Structure 1
Amino acid sequence: MDRGRWRRAYNRLVCAVAVFAIGLSGWTLWQWWERRHAVDEACGGLVPVGEVLALRGSGGEITPARNLTDGIRLDDARLPQSCVLRSEEASGRGRGVGESGSFFSAQVATEPTGWTYEPVDDAFEDALDHTNPYIDVPQVYQPVGGGIAGYVTDTGVSVRLPCPGTEHRGEEITAIRASAGLSAATRAEFSENGQLAQDDRDRLARIAVTTANNLAAELGCSDRLPEPPDGIPALNTEPVAPEKAEGTCAWYGEAGLHTGRANASGWLPDRVLESSANELVWQERCLLTVSREAGSAVYERHLEGPAYQRFYKALGGPRSWWLSAESFFGDAAEHVSTDPVDDERAAIPGRGGFDDGANAWWATSVCDGEPAVHVLTAGYPYSEAVARHLEPVFRAYVEDVAERRGCADIAMPPKSDYQEES
Structure 2
Amino acid sequence: MIGERVRRAVNVALCLTAVVGTGWGGYETYSVLSARSEINAACAGLVPVGKGEGERTFFEAFVTLEPDTRPVQPDEHWAFERSYRPTVDTPLGHGIPGLASDSGVKVKLTCAGKVRRNGAPVEEITAYAGSTTTGYTPVFKGRGQVSGDTRDVLASIAVDVANRTAERLGCESRLPDAPAGIPQAVEDLTPAPRASGTCGWYAKARDQDVLLPDRVVGTRADPDVWTESCGLLMSQVGASQARADGYGDLDPLARDQNWSASLDSWFGTEAENVTLPRLGTDDPVEAAPGKAGRSDEKPAWWASSVCHGKPAVHTLVLGGAAYAERAAPHFAKIFRAYAEDTDKS
Letter in 2 for 1:327: S
Which of the residues 197, 211, 216 maps onto 2:147? 197
The aligned counterpart of 2:128 is 179
Give the corresponding residue for 1:221: 171
* 1:276-295 pair list within 5 angstroms: 276-295=220-239
What secondary structure is seen at the aligned counterpart in 1 of 2:221?
A: coil
Q: Deviations over 1:80-128 (max 9, x none)?
A: xxxxxxxxxxxxxxxxxxxxxxx3111111111112101135x8xx456
- Tell me the TM-score normalized by structure 2: 0.81
2:305 to 365, 380, 387: 365
Q: Tell me the equivalent position of 2:103.
A: 155
Q: Determine the structure 1 residue equivalent to 2:8.
A: none
8 Å Cα contact 1:176/1:216 also seen in 2: yes
Larger-gyration structure (1/2)? 1
Q: Secondary structure at the match of 1:398?
A: helix
| Per-residue deviation, 1:384 | 2.0
1:234-249 alignment to 2 at 5 Å? 234-249=184-199
Alignment CA distance shift 1:351-1:148 (3 Å): same
Distance 2:60 2:54 in 1: 12
**Structure 2: how far apart are the matches of 1:56 and 1:30?**
11
Task: Please give the alpha-carbon distance, in whole angstroms, between the structure 1 residues aligned to 2:234 and 2:120.
Answer: 48
Q: Is the 8 A contact 2:63 2:126 kept in 1?
A: yes
Specify which of 263, 277, 293 is matched with residue 339 of structure 1. Answer: 277
Mark the CA change 1:220 to 1:197 in structure 2 (over 3 Å): closer, same or farther.
same
Give 5+ residue unaligned stretches, structure 1.
1-27, 59-102, 405-422
- Structure with more of its chain in helix, by fraction: 1
8 Å Cα contact 2:233/2:260 also seen in 1: yes
The amino acid across from 2:333 in the alignment is P
**Identity percentage over the alignment?**
38
- Distance in 2, matches of 1:375 and 1:56, equals 42
Letter in 2 for 1:271: R
Report the equivalent of 1:415.
none
Task: Give how far 1:131 is off.
Answer: 5.3
Q: Which ranges of structure 2 fall in alignment gaps of 5 or more residues?
A: 1-20, 25-31
For these two proteins, the number of residue pairs brought into alignment is: 311
User: Is 1:114–2:58 an aligned residue pair?
Assistant: no
SS at match of 1:114: coil
The letter of the residue matching 1:312 is D
Equivalent in the alignment of 2:216: 272
The equivalent residue for 2:268 is: 330
Instruction: Report if aligned partners of 1:127, 1:379 keep a CA contact under 8 Å in 2.
Output: no
Which of the pair has the greater relative contact order for Cα pairs under 8 Å at 6+ separation?
A: 2
Query: What is the CA-CA distance between 1:361 and the residue it aligns to?
Result: 0.8
> Structure 1 residues 30 and 194 mapped into 2: Cα distance closer, same or farther (>3 Å)?
closer
Secondary structure of 2:190's counterpart equals coil
What is the alpha-carbon distance in structure 1 between the residues aligned to residue 23 and residue 192 of structure 2? 57
Q: 3-state DSSP class of the match of 1:366?
A: strand
Instruction: State whether structure 2 residue 321 is matched by structure 1 residue 321.
Output: no
8 Å CA contact retained: 2:271, 2:313 = yes
How far apart, CA to CA, are the structure 1 residues paired with 2:258 and 2:70? 30
Residue 332 of structure 2: aligned partner? 391
The two structures have a TM-score, normalised by structure 1, of 0.67
1:403-414 equivalences under 5 Å are 403-404=344-345
- The answer on whether the counterparts of 2:109 and 2:125 sit within 8 Å (CA) in structure 1 is yes
* Alpha-carbon spacing, 1:280–1:299, altered in 2? closer, same or farther (3 Å): same
RMSD over aligned Cα atoms: 3.0
Q: Secondary structure at the match of 1:332?
A: helix
Deviation larger for 388-397 or 36-45: 36-45
1:402 is aligned to 343
Report if the CA contact (8 A) 1:56-1:200 is conserved: no
Kept in 2: contact 1:145–1:228 (CA 8 A): no
Cα separation, 2, equivalents of 1:200 and 1:290: 33
